Amino acid sequence: MAKEYNPYKEVVEIIEEAAKKMSFSKKDYEVVKYPERELKVSIPVEMDDGSIQVFEGYRVQHSSSRGPCKGGIRYHQDVDMDEVKALAVWMSFKSALVNIPYGGGKGAVKVNSKKLSKNELKNLTRRYTAMILPLIGPERDIPAPDVGTDAEIMGWIMDTYSMFKGYTVSGVVTGKPIEIGGSLGRREATGRGVMFMTREILHRLGMPVIGTTVAIQGMGKVGGTAARLLYREGCKIIAVSDVSGALFCESGLDINEITEYISNNEQKTLAEYEARGVSHISNTELLTCRVDVLIPAALENQITSEIAADVKAKIIVEGANGPTTSNADKILLKNEKTIVPDILANAGGVVVSYFEWVQNIQSLTWDEDEVNRTLEKIMIRAFNEVWDCCEKSSTNMRTGAYMVALERIVNAKKLRGVFP
The catalytic residues are 106
Q: Could you give phi then psi for residue 235, rounded to 5 degrees?
A: -70, 155
Nearest to 355 by CA among 222, 187, 198, 169: 187
For residue 254, count CB atoms less than 10 angstroms from its CB and return exposed for 0-12, middle for 13-18, buried for 19 or more: middle
C-beta separation of 216 from 242 below 8 A: no
SS3 199: helix
Question: Could you give the CA distance from residue 395 to residue 285 in angstroms, rounded to a whole number?
Answer: 30
What is the largest distance, in Å, between two alpha-carbon atoms of the chain? 68
Question: Could you give the CA distance from residue 29 to residue 12 in angstroms, rounded to a whole number?
Answer: 11
